[in-house]
Amino acid sequence: MADRPKGNDPAVRALALRSLAGDCAKWGDGGTVDSWVDILRGVHLNENGFEIAKDLDRAYRVTGIDAELVEILDGASSHLWSAHRDAVQAWAAAEGVKPTLAIGQRIECRYGRGVINGIDEEIAVYLLKPDGEEDRFSQGGGVHVAYETATLIDQVPA
Protein backbone atom coordinates (compact mmCIF):
# COMPACT_ATOMS: atom_id res chain seq x y z
CA MET A 1 0.00 0.00 0.00
CA ALA A 2 1.20 3.51 -0.80
CA ASP A 3 1.88 5.82 2.12
CA ARG A 4 -0.67 8.43 3.21
CA PRO A 5 0.11 11.78 1.53
CA LYS A 6 1.69 14.35 3.82
CA GLY A 7 0.90 18.05 3.88
CA ASN A 8 4.42 18.90 2.72
CA ASP A 9 4.45 16.47 -0.22
CA PRO A 10 5.50 18.29 -3.41
CA ALA A 11 2.31 17.23 -5.21
CA VAL A 12 0.13 18.60 -2.40
CA ARG A 13 2.08 21.86 -2.33
CA ALA A 14 1.79 22.17 -6.13
CA LEU A 15 -1.99 21.83 -5.95
CA ALA A 16 -2.20 24.40 -3.16
CA LEU A 17 0.04 26.84 -5.05
CA ARG A 18 -2.03 26.55 -8.22
CA SER A 19 -5.24 27.13 -6.27
CA LEU A 20 -3.85 30.15 -4.41
CA ALA A 21 -2.33 31.47 -7.65
CA GLY A 22 -5.78 31.36 -9.22
CA ASP A 23 -7.07 33.65 -6.48
CA CYS A 24 -4.05 35.96 -6.78
CA ALA A 25 -4.48 36.23 -10.56
CA LYS A 26 -7.88 37.88 -9.93
CA TRP A 27 -6.25 40.64 -7.87
CA GLY A 28 -5.46 44.07 -9.33
CA ASP A 29 -3.98 43.81 -12.77
CA GLY A 30 -3.63 40.16 -11.93
CA GLY A 31 -1.08 38.35 -13.95
CA THR A 32 -1.52 34.76 -15.03
CA VAL A 33 -1.99 31.76 -12.82
CA ASP A 34 1.34 30.41 -14.06
CA SER A 35 3.16 33.65 -13.24
CA TRP A 36 1.67 33.61 -9.74
CA VAL A 37 2.69 29.97 -9.26
CA ASP A 38 6.27 31.04 -10.05
CA ILE A 39 6.05 34.00 -7.66
CA LEU A 40 4.51 31.98 -4.82
CA ARG A 41 6.83 28.97 -5.18
CA GLY A 42 9.23 30.23 -2.49
CA VAL A 43 6.73 31.35 0.16
CA HIS A 44 5.69 29.51 3.30
CA LEU A 45 2.02 28.68 2.92
CA ASN A 46 1.49 28.40 6.68
CA GLU A 47 2.31 32.07 7.32
CA ASN A 48 -0.32 34.79 7.55
CA GLY A 49 -1.10 36.96 4.55
CA PHE A 50 0.86 39.95 5.83
CA GLU A 51 4.06 37.89 6.25
CA ILE A 52 3.63 36.35 2.80
CA ALA A 53 3.05 39.82 1.32
CA LYS A 54 6.27 41.07 2.95
CA ASP A 55 8.14 38.13 1.39
CA LEU A 56 6.62 38.91 -2.00
CA ASP A 57 7.61 42.56 -1.71
CA ARG A 58 11.18 41.76 -0.61
CA ALA A 59 12.07 38.76 -2.72
CA TYR A 60 9.88 39.11 -5.80
CA ARG A 61 9.35 42.87 -6.02
CA VAL A 62 5.58 42.50 -6.23
CA THR A 63 4.34 46.08 -6.25
CA GLY A 64 1.03 47.62 -5.26
CA ILE A 65 0.38 45.11 -2.49
CA ASP A 66 -2.80 46.15 -0.71
CA ALA A 67 -5.27 44.83 1.84
CA GLU A 68 -7.11 42.84 -0.83
CA LEU A 69 -4.00 40.86 -1.76
CA VAL A 70 -3.09 40.37 1.91
CA GLU A 71 -6.59 38.95 2.47
CA ILE A 72 -6.16 36.59 -0.49
CA LEU A 73 -2.77 35.49 0.86
CA ASP A 74 -4.31 34.95 4.30
CA GLY A 75 -6.07 31.97 2.70
CA ALA A 76 -2.79 30.25 1.78
CA SER A 77 -2.95 27.77 4.64
CA SER A 78 -6.57 26.96 3.74
CA HIS A 79 -5.47 26.15 0.19
CA LEU A 80 -2.77 23.88 1.60
CA TRP A 81 -5.21 22.21 4.00
CA SER A 82 -7.75 21.65 1.21
CA ALA A 83 -5.14 20.27 -1.21
CA HIS A 84 -3.88 17.90 1.48
CA ARG A 85 -7.39 16.70 2.32
CA ASP A 86 -8.11 16.13 -1.40
CA ALA A 87 -4.88 14.14 -1.79
CA VAL A 88 -5.61 12.01 1.27
CA GLN A 89 -9.19 11.44 0.13
CA ALA A 90 -7.94 10.29 -3.29
CA TRP A 91 -5.34 8.05 -1.61
CA ALA A 92 -7.95 6.46 0.68
CA ALA A 93 -10.27 5.77 -2.25
CA ALA A 94 -7.49 4.38 -4.46
CA GLU A 95 -6.11 2.15 -1.70
CA GLY A 96 -9.53 1.05 -0.45
CA VAL A 97 -8.65 2.29 3.03
CA LYS A 98 -11.37 2.02 5.67
CA PRO A 99 -10.95 2.60 9.41
CA THR A 100 -11.79 -0.64 11.25
CA LEU A 101 -12.37 0.62 14.79
CA ALA A 102 -15.61 2.09 16.11
CA ILE A 103 -16.77 5.12 18.03
CA GLY A 104 -16.39 4.47 21.74
CA GLN A 105 -13.31 2.27 21.50
CA ARG A 106 -10.18 3.33 23.38
CA ILE A 107 -7.00 3.83 21.41
CA GLU A 108 -3.43 4.84 21.94
CA CYS A 109 -1.49 7.00 19.49
CA ARG A 110 1.20 9.69 19.45
CA TYR A 111 -1.27 12.09 21.12
CA GLY A 112 -1.75 9.72 24.05
CA ARG A 113 -4.76 7.65 24.98
CA GLY A 114 -8.42 8.36 24.63
CA VAL A 115 -11.77 7.42 23.14
CA ILE A 116 -12.75 7.51 19.47
CA ASN A 117 -15.28 10.34 19.36
CA GLY A 118 -15.96 10.19 15.61
CA ILE A 119 -14.64 8.85 12.32
CA ASP A 120 -13.96 10.69 9.07
CA GLU A 121 -14.01 7.79 6.63
CA GLU A 122 -13.24 9.97 3.58
CA ILE A 123 -9.73 10.62 4.90
CA ALA A 124 -9.44 7.53 7.12
CA VAL A 125 -9.01 9.26 10.47
CA TYR A 126 -10.40 8.78 13.93
CA LEU A 127 -11.43 11.79 15.97
CA LEU A 128 -9.78 11.22 19.33
CA LYS A 129 -11.13 12.60 22.58
CA PRO A 130 -7.88 12.43 24.58
CA ASP A 131 -8.03 11.44 28.24
CA GLY A 132 -8.33 14.59 30.32
CA GLU A 133 -9.88 16.60 27.47
CA GLU A 134 -13.41 15.26 27.71
CA ASP A 135 -14.91 18.74 28.23
CA ARG A 136 -13.13 20.18 25.21
CA PHE A 137 -14.67 17.60 22.89
CA SER A 138 -17.96 16.99 24.70
CA GLN A 139 -19.93 18.30 21.71
CA GLY A 140 -18.04 16.15 19.19
CA GLY A 141 -14.91 16.51 17.14
CA GLY A 142 -11.48 15.56 18.31
CA VAL A 143 -7.82 15.30 17.43
CA HIS A 144 -7.29 13.74 14.00
CA VAL A 145 -5.52 10.37 14.25
CA ALA A 146 -4.62 8.50 11.07
CA TYR A 147 -6.29 5.10 11.26
CA GLU A 148 -3.00 3.32 10.59
CA THR A 149 -1.35 4.92 13.63
CA ALA A 150 -4.04 4.04 16.19
CA THR A 151 -3.65 1.04 18.47
CA LEU A 152 -6.76 -0.44 20.09
CA ILE A 153 -6.51 -0.55 23.88
CA ASP A 154 -9.95 -1.74 24.94
CA GLN A 155 -13.66 -1.05 24.88
CA VAL A 156 -15.11 1.79 26.92
CA PRO A 157 -17.28 0.43 29.71
CA ALA A 158 -20.97 1.04 29.00
What pLDDT is recorded for position 157? 53
- pLDDT for res 96: 95
- Quote the CA–CA distance of 39 and 104 in Å, as a whole number: 47
Alpha-carbon distance of 77 to 41, in angstroms, equals 14
Q: Give all strands (DSSP E) within the chain, no chain letters.
A: 105-109, 112-120, 125-130, 143-146, 151-155
Please give the model's pTM, rounded to 2 decimal places. Answer: 0.85
pLDDT of residue 35 exceeding 60, the answer is yes
List pLDDT tens digits, range 87-145: 999 999 999 999 999 999 999 999 999 999 999 999 999 999 999 998 999 898 999 99
